[in-house]
Amino acid sequence: MSTETSTGTDTGSGTTPAVATAAAATVPVTRSAAARSGSVAKLWGPPLVVFAVIVAAWIALAAILDASPPHVLLPSPLRIVVDSFSTETLDGQPNQPITGELLNAIALTMQVALSGLAISIVVGIVWAILMSQARWVERSLFPYAVILQCVPILALVPLIGNTIDYGIEARILVCVLISLFPMVSNTLFGLQSVERSQRELFKLQKASRWTVLTKLQLPNALPAIFAGMRISAGLAIVGAIVGDFFFRRGQPGLGILISNYQSRLQTPELFAAVIVAALLGVLIFLIFGWISKLAVGRWYEPAS
């Protein structure tokens, strides 16, 4: 038999060699891939330009606002780097570099954030699966997810510290409380957004609940789950920093460092710590975007 030639489907540029017979028009077209490879500059160019502008403005502002010691207002990028990581400040004073304590703090913060995130992912997915199984379960459990989202977690932080001490567990708990909701709501949305006809396809074969969950609902929910992970990951970093910023006890994570530098008026170091914290957030966001692409990018087409 023959293949259709005009099916009204977007067939793209047709640069791919034909796979079978005269089917060139409907062969998987790699237009997006071609566009991707040709546009690295297009993709990274504009944000890099903006970055350069910001740094330039920063240098200019620092030169005006912060020309003389004690450099507590707005240190220039160069001063931030030198005063934080070198044994001599930009002004030639002997200096204690913060490299070691910063690395330790990053390690601790990441440990807390990733533990919290892992717990949120597992708990969130299980919670959502439970709710997807019966209306009454959803009605019983969803309000608590919403409460979690509505309660200002920051207000709970001192309470948590008081109750279960200021150790790593308390910080992880803060992380979980902050990052759980997106996992619950996204997973639930993904599980419930299965098309009716797909559900009926399974129903006609008398598929069990378990089969429907594993072969239909969960795969269908994957894109939403990964989107949730991306949001939760960022929140987990926030949680880890905020947690120890408030606790101000125990081993110093980034939050404690920030708080210390602030109270000691070590502005360049403060900036360095804050920038590192921001980079961690961005990094984890990118990593989860990348994981998501690996996992579902193959088949998932976001509606655009």
Partner 1 sequence: MTTTTATSRTAPVTTDTLLDFRNVAMQFPNGTVALSGIDLTVKRGEFVTVVGPSGCGKSTLLRIASGLENASEGTAALGTKRIGYVFQDATLLPWRTVQANVELLAELNKQPRKSRAAKAKEAIELVGLSGFEDNLPKQLSGGMRMRTSLARSLTLDPELFLFDEPFGALDEITRERLGDELLRIFTEQRFAGLFITHSVAEAVYLSTRVVVMSGRPGHIVDEFEVPFDYPRDPDIRFTPEFAALSGKVSHALREGHS
Site residues (vs partner 1, CB under 8 A) = 1-9, 11, 19-21, 23, 26-29, 195, 197-198, 200-205, 207, 211, 215-216, 219, 222, 296, 298-301
Query: What's the length of the chain?
Result: 304
Quick one: which of 166, 168, 183 has its CA closest to 127? 183
Task: Select from 118, 155, 146, 149 the least CA-distant residue to 233.
Answer: 118
φ, ψ (nearest 5 deg) of residue 4: -65, 150
Identity of the residue, 68 or 208, whose beta carbon is nearer to partner 1 in the bound complex: 208
Q: How far are the Cα atoms of 14, 15, 26, 36 from residue 32, in angstroms, in the given order? A: 12, 11, 15, 6
Q: Which is nearer to partner 1, 85 or 300 (CB)?
A: 300
Minimum distance between the CB of residue 19 and partner 1, rounded to whole angstroms?
6
Cis peptide bond upstream of 70, omega within 30: yes
Q: How far is the CB of 197 from partner 1 (least distance, A)?
A: 5
Least distance (Å) from partner 1 to the CB of residue 219?
5
Residue from 184, 183, 195, 185 nearest 220 by CA: 195
- Minimum Å distance from CB 237 to partner 1? 30
Cβ neighbours for 27, distance < 8 A, ≥ 6 positions apart: 16, 17, 18, 19
| 263 CB-near residues (< 8 Å, 6+ apart) | none
Residue 88, classed as helix, strand or coil, is strand
State which residue, 68 or 205, has the beta carbon closest to partner 1. Answer: 205
Q: Name the minimum Å distance from CB 230 to partner 1.
A: 19
Beta carbons of 223 and 300 less than 8 angstroms apart: yes
Query: What residue type is assigned to position 62 of the chain?
Result: A
Cβ–Cβ < 8 Å for 228, 289: no
Q: Which is nearer to partner 1, 31 or 248 (CB)?
A: 31
Contact assessment for residue 273 and residue 254, using Cβ atoms and an 8 Å cutoff = yes
* Nearer to partner 1 among residue 150 and residue 204 (C-beta): 204
Task: Return the number of the residue (9 or 140) whose C-beta is nearest partner 1.
Answer: 9
Q: Provide, rounded to whole angstroms, the least separation between the CB of residue 173 and partner 1.
A: 35
Give me the least distance between CB of 58 and partner 1, in Å please: 44
For partner 1, the closer of residues 21 and 87 by Cβ is: 21
- 137 vs 222 by CB, closer to partner 1: 222
CA gap 65, 124 in Å, rounded: 47
C-alpha to C-alpha distances, 97 to 54, 93, 266, nearest whole angstrom? 26, 12, 12
Least gap, CB of 25 to partner 1 (angstroms): 8
